[in-house]
């Protein structure tokens, strides 16, 4: 088989890229290791920046998102005494859309056939070849036979554990990483949210987050040690802990219910440079990971794909390869600022195992500064809604 762009991975990054290229008449094929149902069973955050919702609108795939997504004018930071509101709408004129990543992925997946976007699911042993040459190709096994796709370019959208990043030459690339000494224990439940906007809480016992998927489905998290056992957290203990950490103002509004899902995720900051080697470009989690504190993961995948689709469009439609050469620089400039923001919020809101009394006072001073300075709230707000492309 032959295509213009072979896209590895049909998560949000790969699907969005595929649709943006198809909208320009560029041929591409997605190669996904899992089944479509498996991809849709993953539970991920869904706080979408205007950059991300604008891409869905440009594709004409935003009808369900507009009907079912919630517009959020702000979010809150709890410091044990008060709720500090970050008024995104007043400070930036922009809002966030709360619409589960699963739903966005479903919209992109379901629109694929009608837009001529081919997706090969359950592809095993996906291997990238000759990525430094002008004639790269991908081999894999699907439907019981070995297959080969020749492409002008390969887009590595296969997430943190994919094959694309390890296919880049080690001598010309560099990973940057920070591991945090805790994880987030999350619970999903069919109960109304305790507040109409998200609440990020800094508490002496550790961080907590009250979030939601819809008016009837809530998502909560608490910071736990990395070696914590899930069995030690029966639902009631988790609800009790959330009530303590979210504070007396919020606790009475928490509706408890059985967990639909409960899991512990580690927190990591990671960037891989550069994001292009020859004819192979990385986008999304394949190239970088943020801790979930700023809700930036999916939104960064969307901005990468914006830069990448416009570079590939310039190449195929105007024979211009400058934007391809510049892709990594442009994408990384935005990635690093989102890394900085996610790291800063993580440091501000969590309790570190070796936190001294001094460190704690510094956190409290920063929270008080945010509460009393519009300039500080503005800096948080413009990052939270997403910096310009
Ligand atoms: N071959 C083919 N596909 C692969 C391979 C492989 N070797 N390895 C992984 N994949 C697939 C995965 O099964 C998954 O469907 O690549 C896809 C990657 O999707 P995600 O992990 O969702 O990453 P991405 O599309 O970059 O989305 C960005 O935003 O909210 C964040 O971390 C969250 O999923 C997230 C992301
Ligand atoms: C979530 O709803 O899962 C969520 C929301 C905001 C975050 C992280 C996770 O910052």
Q: What average pLDDT does this structure show over 171-187?
A: 97
Q: Which residues pair with 348 in a beta bridge?
A: none
Residue 166: how many other CB atoms lie within 10 Å:
10
3-state secondary structure of 189: strand
Query: Which two three-digit tokens encode residue 161?
Result: 């554990």
Tens digit of each residue's pLDDT (9 = 90 or more) over 42-77: 878 789 999 999 999 999 999 999 999 999 999 999
Given ligand 1 and candidates 11, 155, 269, which is best to mutate, with the most ligand atoms within 8 Å of its CB? 11
Residue 262 alpha carbon to ligand 1 centre in Å: 21
Ligand sitting nearest the alpha carbon of 286? 1
- C-alpha distances out from residue 166 to 43, 124, 173, 179, 240, Å: 26, 17, 10, 20, 43
**Residue 354 has what pLDDT?**
87
With beta carbons less than 8 A apart as the criterion, state whether 90 and 84 touch: no
pLDDT at 175 over 80: yes
Residue 271 alpha carbon to ligand 2 centre in Å: 21
Q: Measured at the alpha carbon of residue 163, what is the angle toward residues 160 and 164, in degrees to the nearest 5?
A: 85
Helix axes 297-318, 322-349, angle to 10 degrees: 170
Which numbered atom of ligand 2 lies nearest the CA of 200? 10
| Residue-range domains of the chain with CATH | 2-47+99-177+268-346 (3.50.50.60)
DSSP state, residue 279: T
Ligand sitting nearest the alpha carbon of 299? 1
Query: Which two three-digit tokens encode residue 232?
Result: 């030690």
**Residue 72 has what pLDDT?**
98
Ligand sitting nearest the alpha carbon of 139? 1
With beta carbons less than 8 A apart as the criterion, state whether 6 and 312 touch: no
With beta carbons less than 8 A apart as the criterion, state whether 164 and 21 touch: no
Tens digit of each residue's pLDDT (9 = 90 or more) over 185-233: 999 999 999 999 999 999 999 999 999 998 999 999 999 999 999 999 9
Q: Is the CB of 338 under 6 A from ligand 1?
A: no
**Residue found under tokens 């969307």:** 302
- Return the active site residues: 72, 200, 292, 296, 384
- Of all protein residues, the one whose alpha carbon is nearest to atom 23 of ligand 1 is 159
Residue 10 alpha carbon to ligand 1 centre in Å: 7
**Residue 46 has what pLDDT?**
86
**Residue 43 has what pLDDT?**
77
Query: Which two three-digit tokens encode residue 377?
Result: 């709230």
Strands (E), 46-82: 47-48, 70-72, 75-78
The total number of residues written for the chain in this structure: 389
**Pairing mode of beta strands 261-273, 28-31:** unpaired
Residue 31: closest CA among 164, 169, 167, 166: 164
Tens digit of each residue's pLDDT (9 = 90 or more) over 69-119: 999 999 999 998 899 999 999 999 999 999 999 999 999 999 999 999 999
Residue 114 alpha carbon to ligand 1 centre in Å: 23
With beta carbons less than 8 A apart as the criterion, state whether 286 and 158 touch: yes
Number of H helices and number of E strands within the chain?
11, 19
Q: Is the CB of 246 under 6 A from ligand 1?
A: no
Quick one: how far is CA 222 from the chain centroid?
Answer: 19
Q: Is the CB of 32 under 6 A from ligand 1?
A: yes
Residue 11 alpha carbon to ligand 1 centre in Å: 5
**Residue 41 has what pLDDT?**
87
């Amino acid at each position: 088989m032959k295509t213009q762009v072979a896209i590895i991975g049909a998560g949000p990054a790969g699907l969005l890229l595929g649709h943006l290229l198809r909208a320009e008449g560029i041929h591409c094929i997605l190669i996904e290791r899992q089944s479509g149902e498996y991809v849709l069973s993953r539970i991920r955050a869904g706080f979408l920046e205007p950059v991300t919702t604008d891409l869905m609108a440009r594709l004409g795939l935003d009808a369900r998102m507009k009907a079912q997504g919630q517009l959020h004018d702000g979010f809150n930071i709890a410091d044990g005494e008060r709720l500090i509101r970050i008024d995104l709408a007043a400070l930036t004129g922009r809002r966030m859309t709360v619409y589960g990543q699963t739903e966005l992925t479903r919209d992109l997946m379901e629109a694929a056939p009608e837009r001529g976007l081919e997706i090969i699911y359950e592809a095993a042993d996906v291997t990238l070849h000759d990525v430094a040459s002008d004639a790269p190709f991908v081999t894999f096994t699907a439907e019981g036979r070995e297959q080969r796709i020749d492409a002008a370019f390969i887009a590595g959208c296969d997430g943190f554990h994919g094959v694309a990043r390890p296919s880049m030459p080690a001598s010309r690339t560099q990973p940057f990483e920070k591991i945090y000494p805790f994880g987030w224990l999350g619970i999903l439940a069919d109960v109304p949210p305790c507040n109409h906007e998200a609440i990020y809480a800094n508490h002496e016992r550790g961080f907590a987050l009250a979030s939601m998927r819809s008016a009837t489905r809530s998502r909560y998290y608490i910071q736990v040690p990395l070696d914590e056992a899930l069995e030690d957290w029966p639902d009631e203990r988790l609800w009790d802990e959330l009530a303590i950490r979210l504070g007396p103002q919020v606790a009475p509004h928490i509706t408890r219910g059985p967990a639909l899902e409960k899991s512990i995720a580690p927190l990591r900051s990671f960037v891989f440079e550069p994001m292009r080697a020859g004819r192979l470009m990385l986008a999304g989690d394949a190239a970088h990971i943020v801790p979930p504190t700023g809700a930036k993961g999916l939104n960064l995948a969307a901005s990468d794909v914006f830069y990448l689709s416009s570079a590939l469009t310039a190449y195929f439609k105007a024979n211009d390869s400058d934007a391809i050469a510049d892709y990594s620089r442009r994408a990384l400039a935005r990635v690093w600022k989102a890394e900085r923001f996610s790291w800063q919020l993580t440091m501000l809101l969590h309790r570190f195992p070796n936190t001294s009394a001094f460190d704690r006072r510094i956190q409290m001073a920063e929270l008080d500064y945010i509460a009393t300075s519009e300039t500080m709230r503005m800096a948080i707000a413009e990052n939270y809604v997403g910096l310009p492309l």
